[in-house]
Amino acid sequence: MKLRSKLLLSLLVAGIALCLALIFAGRWSSPGRHSDAAYVALLNEAYAAVVQNYVEKPDAKKLVQSMVDGMLSALDPHSAYLPPEPYHEMEVQMAGSFGGIGLELGTKDGRLTVIAPIEDTPAFRAGIQGNDHIYKIDGTPTERMNISAAVKLMRGEPGTPVVLTILRGDSPQPRTFRLIRAIIRVKSLKSRLLEPGYGLIRITQFQERTGDEFSQALQGLRAASGGKLKGLVIDLRYNPGGLLESSVQVVNNFIGDDAAKTLIVSIRGRSPDATQNFQASLGPKEPHYPIVVLINGGSASASEIVAGALQDHHRAIIMGKQSFGKGSVQSIFPLRDKGALKLTTARYYTPSGRSIQAKGITPDIEVGTRGPMADKDAGKGAELREKDLENRLEPSGEERDAEVEPTTPRGAKKGAADTARDYQLSRALELLRSLDLMREKGVAAMP
C-alpha cells in the first residue's frame, strides 16, 4: 500500500513538473515559434507589471511613448516616433522654416553626433562641425538620449539661449557653445553665374518648392547669359536630402526627351504600396549643355537620387567625394495622439538598378580639397556616413565594396575670388570650360 502511494505521488509530481515544463517551454521557446499575438501579450504583461508594481506610479503616456521609442530604435537609425511637436516642426521644416539652431543629427558609437550644420544658422556661424559629439545640452548629458529627445531640447522660442557642450576629435577637453535660437529659414537653393555662360545652382535641401525654384533658377541663369548656357554646376555638397518628389522634379528638367529612358528612381519595399517607379515626363527638356554635379560625404538621400539619376543617364559628370550612402525611404504614419511614426519602408535604386544604401554615389572624378579650404578641414576626422550609424540597413544584395572616407569643405562661397578658393568648384568650372572648348573645336569624344 505504501509502495503504491509513493508511486502515485511520484507520478503526480512528475505530471506537475511536465505541465510546468510545457508551460514555460511555450512561453520561452525560440522566437521563431512565437506568434505576433504572443509578443504583444508579452508587451502587455510587462506594461501591467510596471504600472502595478513600480516603486512610484509611472506616467502612462511617457511609459507608452518610451516603449514605442525602444521598438523603433531597434530597427534602423531613421525610424522614429515623432511626438506632436517634433512632428509639426518636421512639417514646417519641409515647408522651408522652423525654430531651432540648425543641426543635422545622427548617432555614432552610441553618441549623439553632428552630421552637418545647416548653412546660415546659429550652429553654422558658431563653428560647429560635422562629426562633433554633443556631450550635453543645457547641462543635460546626452548619453542614451535619442535624436527626437535631443531635438526637443534644442528647439525653443527664437531669441532664447541653448548651451551645447561638445567633444571634437580626440581632444578630451570639451568645448562650450552658447547659441541663440532663431527661426531657421532653410533656403532651398541659391544660384549665380560663375562667369558668362556658366551657371551654379547650389541646393541646400529638397523642400516642397525646390522643384519650382530650380526651374526658375535655370531660367534666370539662362537670361543672365544672353539666352544660352554653356554649362552648369549643380552643387549638392552637404545637402542632407529632403523630399523625394522634389528631387524627381529637379532631374525632370534634364531627363525625358527619350521615351525609352525616363526612369529617375525606383523604390522597393516589402508591401506593394512601398514599390514604385518615378518616371520623367516626356517633352522638351534643357539643352544638352555639360553638367557637373558636386557631392561629398554630407550629400545624402534625395541628393544621391539626383546624382545617381544624372550619372546613370550620362547627363552629368559627378565630381567630389563619396556621398553619405542613405539609400532608404521613410514614410510618415500619423497617429491618434497627433504624433507620427517615421518608418523606413523601402530602399531606393538608381535607374541602372544600383542600391547606394551604406555605400553612396562614387564620383566619376574624385576631387578633394586644397588651399585655405583644406587648411580649415585639417585635423577633422572622417565625416559621419550612413555605414557608421547604428542599426543601419545593410546594402542591398552583396553590394559591400570598400568606401572612401571624405574630408570636404563646408560649401561654395559667393564671388569669383571665393570660387578660386573652393578647389572643387574651380575644378568643376575648369572641366565645363574644357568640354565647351572641345565642342567648339569639333573634337570628338574618345570611344
Closest by CA position to 136, among listed 82, 86, 182, 174: 174
Full pLDDT tens readout for the chain, 447 residues: 444 444 444 434 444 444 444 444 455 445 555 688 888 899 999 999 999 999 999 999 899 989 998 999 899 999 999 988 788 877 877 777 678 999 988 888 889 999 889 888 999 999 999 999 999 999 999 998 988 889 889 988 899 999 999 999 888 899 999 999 998 876 789 999 999 999 999 999 999 999 999 999 999 999 999 999 999 999 999 999 999 999 999 999 999 999 999 999 999 999 888 899 999 999 999 999 999 999 999 999 999 999 999 999 999 999 999 999 999 999 999 999 899 999 999 999 999 999 999 999 999 999 997 754 454 444 444 567 788 887 788 776 433 332 222 233 333 334 555 677 899 999 999 999 999 888 888 776 544
The second-level CATH assignment, the architecture, of 100-184 is: Roll (2.30)
Distance CA 393, CA 357 (A): 7
418 is catalytic: no
312 is catalytic: yes
Q: Which of 312, 377, 388, 422 is catalytic?
A: 312
Domain extent listing, the chain: 100-184, 189-335+345-395+422-441
Distance CA 159, CA 181 (A): 5
User: Which cell is 154 given?
Assistant: 534644442
Structure letter (DSSP) for residue 154: H
Alpha helices in 137-266 (DSSP H): 147-154, 210-224, 244-251
Q: Which of 301, 323, 396, 426 is catalytic?
A: 301
Q: Which of 136, 230, 326, 342 is catalytic?
A: 326
Distance CA 2, CA 326 (A): 75
Distance CA 386, CA 393 (A): 9
Structure letter (DSSP) for residue 272: G
Q: What share of the chain is helix, strand, coil (3-state, %, to 5)?
A: 35, 25, 40
Distance CA 194, CA 208 (A): 27
188 is catalytic: no
What is the dotted CATH code of the domain comprising 189-335+345-395+422-441? 3.90.226.10
Q: Provide the pairing of β-strand 175-180 with 133-137.
A: unpaired
Q: How many helices (H) and strands (E) does the chain have?
A: 12, 19
**What is residue 420's three-state secondary structure?**
helix
Does 100-184 match 189-335+345-395+422-441 in CATH topology?
no
Q: What angle do CA 265, 266, 270 make, to 5 degrees?
A: 155
What DSSP line would sit under 203-228, residue for residue? E--B-TTHHHHHHHHHHHHHHHTTS-
